[in-house]
Amino acid sequence: MRGNQISEWNLFRQRQDGSSVTLLAGGNNMRHLQIHDPLFDRTLTPRDTYTILERFVSQYNARGESSTVALLTDVAICIDGTSGDPAQIYDFVRVAGDILDDERLRDAAGPG
């Protein structure tokens, strides 16, 4: 590996039933979650939305981040549909999966 270049790797999540799911494939095909992905095509109640937001911001602040500007920069949607800090979109999806009890969202979020 040179600099930020990634050679080849795969990230898997082991499910409780023993099967695994590929979360990210490395090499030249590596991509991060994007807001345009079908995973985000779901209607939520305002209650669910607020609960997800509150838990996401709480865990973000628990890591030592507290600036509103830093939060908005990290979660800002870039032109390509990814977030300013790609890790934040995965954290958000993980929180949503936990609150909504949605295995598909938890699988997409990767290991926590």
What amino acid is encoded at 66 in this protein? S
Segment 18-49, tens digit of pLDDT: 544 444 444 445 578 888 888 888 899 999 99
Segment 54-112, tens digit of pLDDT: 999 999 999 887 788 999 999 999 998 889 998 898 899 999 999 999 988 888 877 65
Domain boundaries, the chain: 32-109
Burial code (b: 16+ CB inside 10 Å, e: under 16) for 28-51 equals eeeebbbeeeebbeeeeeeeeeeb
